[in-house]
Amino acid sequence: MRTQPPSVLTDQQLVAQVLGGDTAAFGQLVQRTQGLVTQLVFKMIRHPADRPDLAQEVYLKVFKNLAGFKFQAKFSTWVGQVTYNTCLHYLEKKQLVLLDPTEPAPAAAVEDGRRAPPPLVAGPETDPETALFDQDLTDILSAAIEQLPPLYRTLIALYHQQELSYEEIAQITSLPDGTVKNYLFRARKQLKQHLLARYQRTDL
């Protein structure tokens, strides 16, 4: 019987192979989740020197606890949860905050009526001048996002860049769905206020 290449195997099949002694299959699981892990670590942790060690710690924990994962959620969601908790522990140990404690408690969820995460900037255009303008906007937006609290940066990355659902983000962060929606609303509001304060409307 012909063996299927790792790229076409499901996460569950790859996990079974790892647990059966095929440690090479773990590399495929890393490839499938490293984008999510990188996003979380980079948005939650400001100190660049600590990021590689934290990412390594995440995958060590994933490997160590793989046998206990029962696929009650997507594998990537579980890895995201391990990453989030690892970064949270780091912040607590360094006495750093994920969100300013002066932030008011979330009120009722703000429903935006969308199911698919909307892009924060327009997609690429074929016109070089337009593409350059879009890149400038992307750079401006990225710089503004970095001014947000770590939790807001993280939620924006998960929703707009990783395109995760509210439910998946809630599972990763252990926050209620309504709180995720509310914090995302606040993050966008702060982002807009920062951009309007930093740049003239005609510059954007």
CA distance linking residue 40 with residue 34, whole number of Å: 10
On the question of pLDDT at 87 being above 60, the answer is yes
Mean pLDDT confidence for 75-90: 96
Indicate the pLDDT class of residue 63, thresholds 50, 70 and 90.
very high
The alpha-helical segments, DSSP class H, found in 45-176 are 51-64, 75-93, 128-145, 150-156, 166-173
How many Cα atoms are found within 13 Å in the side-chain-facing hemisphere of 109?
11
Q: Give the percent of the chain with pLDDT over 70.
A: 75
Domains, the chain, in order of start with CATH, read: 6-93 (1.10.1740.10), 128-203 (1.10.10.10)
Supply the pLDDT for residue 132: 46
Residue bearing the bigger pLDDT, 8 or 182: 182
